[in-house]
Amino acid sequence: MDAMPPATLSALLARNLDLRGESTAFVEGERRISYREFDAMVRRSAAWLRDQGIKPGDRVAVWLVNRIEWLALYFGLARLGAAVMTVNTRYRSHELAYILERSQASLLVLQLNFRKIDFPAVLRDVPPGAASALRKVAVVDAGTDMPTQVLGRPAIRFDLAALPEDDASNTGAPDCAAADAPCVLFTTSGTTSGPKLVVHTQYTVTQHALNVAKGFDFEADDVRLLAALPLCGTFGLSGVMAAFAAGRPIVLMDTFDGSEAARLLNAQRITHLFGSDEMFQRVIESAPAGDRPFPHARVFGFASFQPGTLEVMQNAWSRGMPMLGLYGSSEVQALFSLQQRSLPLQERTQGGGRPACAAARIRIRDVETGALLPAGQVGAVEIQSPTNFVGYLDNPQATASSIDAEGYFSTGDAGYLREDGSFVYQTRLGDTMRLAGYLVSPAEIESVIKTVPGVQDVQIVAVEIGAQMKPVAFVVALPGKAPTEAAVVASAKAALAPFKVPVHVWLVDEFPVTQSSNGTKIQRVKLREMALERLAHQTPAA
């Protein structure tokens, strides 16, 4: 590692250019892009952005699938001291409107059509006032039907390949990159009041990338990353930046597809892949036959968002797939920590792990008394790290309520420390249940009920019944094998303390979910609402 590690995206690129200029940085389809070629793309993009009036401190909304233009714009904006406002391609009209209005982006870059994504339909329902700060809208892959206006603003072309080579010179766009300059804004998970915009600087991004490169085994010569997650989320961008920091090739997937990912893992000799448990399940379903379907695999890091998939991840180890639980968020960045493969199987597939940053500190706080808890006791996870976010955009009140005087960020997650300093993530604090005076993770009860014949998936939530919080179960049954409530309750009674036994068991066809740039997540809030509706129409069990 350098004595003075790069603190800006420009410095990170310059180091790669100096050390490995002709080596492959990115693979996009059949195209291989060297660091030198990427540097030219970044310089041309920066010059083009400058010509559109982008200056230090500005924000540009990028609404694209994974493609080299996304990254060229990201590094180009950093070169100007400006920031990218990430926009999820799954966003609908009200979400896009909210992002444009909150971020005050002066430029929007988009692709009008991509396969099944109907961008024009989304744009039609965006209120004009939401785009008041926009000066222009840039269109990628614009054909002969290039519009003159989008969202009531002048539409211009962004054609990276056609930008003049003269703009690749050092005089094209002076480097205004600064370590403390914001370079990327992520959205938090949406709430009724709308998501917050998480601000990261060039320092927090580059330092985190260097930490992950070292801590997640990116530095070996044969490492190759498959970038299957969307770049618009911290989960996807953190992996790409770590591979870039290590100077290792990155194979871009425009959008995730399980069978194509399985093919690329072997065709491109991929060692590293990150994703949700749902994504990996689709990869596993498409895996070639044999004991080691992906012989080059070294780190398959996953986050658990879906019920019923942890057993799949654990079984994958028997076929040589190195499934390792991890942890992250927009505020602390994805790939914040990773479980060690030396741990027992059940431990290495849990969320959490050892932080990539050696200077990071984790503590667990009792949610009721506020006391700090010793190893093994479940409470609220708090994280202090030099690579944490610097705040929520234009929201000092939310920032102050999330970061304390010592610099610890209250994650809103529940978990516990291990004796070795690593930690285990269990669930969102809002999903934990206070039952009979004890803080209980739904996963503890769910793991027991999943063993009942006929149960495919289960979700546990707590609701107030008779002035006490009680657990209830929502079960998705296997086709034609629905379990009875009595069977589920009997299984829970045999393995759990009485206060953890569900007082109701309801069969459902599916769980309510929400889509994010990082994966599909269960909406436990809606499950609680469903439970209250059902309770209003039936008598509680004795």
- E-strand stretches of 77-224: 83-86, 107-111, 113-114, 117-118, 136-140, 149-150, 153-158, 182-187, 197-201
Query: 232: which residues sit within 8 A by CB, 6+ positions away?
Result: 62, 86, 87, 88, 89, 517
Q: Mean per-residue pLDDT for 211-223?
A: 96
User: Is pLDDT of 315 > 80?
Assistant: yes
Rg (CA), the chain: 24
User: Is pLDDT of 287 > 80?
Assistant: yes
Q: In this predicted structure, what is the pLDDT of residue 52?
A: 97
* DSSP assigned state of 335: S
Report whether 456 contacts 308 (CB < 8 A): yes
> Mean pLDDT score of the chain, rounded to an integer?
91
- Cβ burial of 286 (10 Å; 0-12, 13-18, 19+) is middle
* More confident: 172 or 295: 295
The span from the CA of 280 to the CA of 275, in Å, is 7
Q: Mean per-residue pLDDT for 458-473?
A: 88
The span from the CA of 176 to the CA of 513, in Å, is 42
Report whether 452 contacts 491 (CB < 8 A): yes
Report residue 213 as tokens. 């490169």
Q: In this predicted structure, what is the pLDDT of residue 192?
A: 39
User: Is pLDDT of 156 > 60?
Assistant: yes
Q: Which residues pair with 474 in a beta bridge?
A: 459, 506
The span from the CA of 395 to the CA of 227, in Å, is 32
Q: In this predicted structure, what is the pLDDT of residue 520?
A: 65
Q: In this predicted structure, what is the pLDDT of residue 426?
A: 87
CA–CA distances in Å: residue 351 to residues 20, 323, 328, 356: 35, 11, 9, 14
Name the residue among 248, 238, 320 with its Cα closest to residue 25: 248
CA–CA distances in Å: residue 444 to residues 40, 433, 449, 482, 485: 53, 11, 9, 22, 18
Query: Which pTM value belongs to this model?
Result: 0.83
Least confident of 12-16, 365-369, 431-435: 431-435
